[in-house]
Chains A and B, each alone.
Chain A
Amino acid sequence: TQLLEQSPQFLSIQEGENLTVYCNSSSVFSSLQWYRQEPGEGPVLLVTVVTGGEVKKLKRLTFQFGDARKDSSLHITAAQPGDTGLYLCAGAPGNQFYFGTGTSLTVIP
């Protein structure tokens, strides 16, 4: 059983569509992070959410941390082909740092 479950696992959409990726856990986190990874490269940090209920925006990306700090979501508005990649949530319940199961997004021109 994974500590952080993401859904959906795979997502293929047309350019211009909206989408939401979910990250869920039964554990409480002091903070959660979202990363994006391109093939053959390391993950790149997009955002860190810290406060329950917090909403952060990064251009067309909106991140939300659940009130109970057990879940988070990433919403992309008007997706573009450049948004294609592997999206990962991550957090540290203790000294270890774990990644979610990942969501592979493909945006078709």
Chain B
Amino acid sequence: GAVVSQHPSRVICKSGTSVKIECRSLDFQATTMFWYRQFPKQSLMLMATSNEGSKATYEQGVEKDKFLINHASLTLSTLTVTSAHPEDSSFYICSARDSGADTQYFGPGTRLTVL
């Protein structure tokens, strides 16, 4: 079946540094990818919708300058958390929509811890 990978799976960084998370669709092309954030015991909150070749659409309350999204190819989207702070510590999950099958597949998530 279709697979979406995320890298890294876990990252620990110091406050003030930037962290890049990659989301790849391994065997299909994804014109649309979604980025979610999840706190413990809570649901996934949509942060932004990433469209290949165009600017991402951010949800209300999500700072576009802090969470930089680049969807440069049909198989790769990146989320960069700039100047990370402890409150940015969370579980970040991406998903990729297989435009050919109109189906969505989720990555395994990235656990970010900011010290």
Contact = CB atoms under 8 A, between A and B. Distances in A.
Nearest to A95: B49
Majority SS of interface residues in chain B? strand
Majority SS of interface residues in chain A? loop
Contacts of B43: 6, 86, 88, 99-102
Nearest to B111: A40
Contact-size category for B: 20 to 34
A102 B46 contact: no
Nearest to B9: A40
Interface in B15-60: 32, 34, 36, 41-46, 49, 57, 59
Contacts of A26: none
Contacts of A86: 41, 43
B49 A96 contact: yes
Contact of A97 (B41, B104, B107, B111): B104
Contacts of A104: 41
Contacts of A88: 43-44
A97 B34 contact: yes
A43 B104 CA distance: 11
Of all A-B residue pairs in the complex, the 6 with the closest CB atoms, nearest first, are A102-B43, A42-B106, A99-B44, A99-B43, A42-B108, A42-B109
Interface of B: 32, 34, 36, 41-46, 49, 57, 59, 91, 93, 95, 97, 104, 106-109, 111
27 contacts: A40-B91, A40-B111, A41-B108, A41-B109, A42-B95, A42-B108, A42-B109, A43-B44, A43-B93, A86-B41, A86-B43, A88-B43, A88-B44, A95-B49, A95-B57, A96-B34, A96-B57, A96-B59, A97-B34, A97-B49, A97-B97, A98-B46, A99-B43, A99-B45, A102-B42, A102-B43, A104-B41
